[in-house]
């Protein structure tokens, strides 16, 4: 049985970790390199770093940050934000990232997924999808959730898989930062209709929410930010809870 992964997410703006609610009202959560080192020592399975202003401000994710993190952690980590070319990915992987996450650039030019997968292998390529419900339909949004598209979440997810993505990081904008739980119905549908791993993101507020997304949402991994950053949930305690619930985790 494959173990379920616990993935702290560090949203980076101006070199600091930040966290908001529904993608707005950001507050400082600490130094990303220090946080990363703590998470690696306390049982996180992977880390995700998202430079949340990189796409909006048309600048590249800082390779220096990636290099500093790689020197401090011994677990896989993914980097996203402002990635739009093979060259961008090459720099990040050379500086120590294990995987990259693409979002807006993949929607604007879907062939990018094919190019990255062919060059680096699908195991390196995560496609992040931010979506919210509009008139009962899950609609994909871009640029940190600011720009709606005409894409349906499930249609886009299937295309992403067909183009060579290794996994999908799905963030429900409706749930993000609310601490009311993950969007498990949508996650379960993604997990059922696709053959690649699905990472749940948006809505973690307590340990039961993680149990629910693994059992009801059929998620392969669960990503969270504020509950970890502000020490509301400890990863060792969370994993013990999951183990007690019969969920396979790496202890």
- Report, as residue numbers or ranges, the catalytic residues: 11, 130
3-state secondary structure of 231: coil
Paired tokens of 95: 């500086």
Q: Which residues pair with 24 in a beta bridge?
A: 21
SS3 127: strand
Q: How far apart are CA 243 and CA 79, in angstroms?
A: 29
**Sign of the Cα pseudo-torsion (53, 165, 162, 158, in order):** negative
Residue with tokens 């994710």: 61
> Dihedral sign, CA of 153, 157, 163, 169?
positive
CA–CA distances in Å: residue 35 to residues 99, 105, 171: 19, 28, 22
d(CA 78, CA 60): 15
Residue with structure tokens 């062919």?
118
Chain centre to alpha carbon of residue 168: 8
Q: Is 198 helix (H, G, I), strand (E, B) or coil?
A: strand
């Amino acid at each position: 049985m494959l173990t379920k992964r616990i993935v702290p997410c560090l949203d980076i703006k101006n070199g600091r970790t930040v966290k908001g609610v529904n993608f707005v009202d950001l507050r400082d959560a600490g130094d990303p390199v220090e946080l990363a080192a703590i998470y690696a020592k306390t049982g996180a399975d992977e880390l995700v770093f998202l430079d949340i202003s990189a796409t909006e401000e048309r600048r590249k994710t800082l390779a220096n940050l990636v290099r500093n993190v790689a020197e401090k952690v011994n677990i896989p980590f993914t980097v996203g934000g402002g990635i739009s070319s093979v060259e961008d990915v090459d720099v990040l992987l050379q500086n120590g990232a294990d995987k990259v996450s693409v979002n807006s650039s993949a929607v604007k030019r879907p062939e990018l997924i094919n190019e990255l997968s062919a060059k680096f292998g699908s195991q390196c390529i995560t496609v992040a999808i931010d979506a919210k419900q509009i008139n009962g339909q899950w609609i994909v949004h871009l640029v940190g959730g600011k720009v709606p598209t005409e894409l349906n979440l499930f249609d886009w997810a299937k295309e992403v898989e067909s183009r060579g993505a290794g996994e999908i990081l799905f963030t429900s904008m409706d749930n993000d930062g609310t601490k009311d739980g993950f969007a498990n119905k949508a996650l379960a549908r993604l997990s059922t209709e696709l053959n690649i791993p699905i990472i749940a993101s948006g809505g973690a507020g307590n340990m039961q929410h993680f149990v629910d997304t693994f059992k009801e949402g059929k998620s392969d991994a669960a990503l969270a930010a504020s509950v970890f950053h502000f020490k509301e949930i400890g990863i060792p305690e969370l994993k013990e809870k999951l183990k007690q619930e019969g969920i396979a985790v790496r202890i």
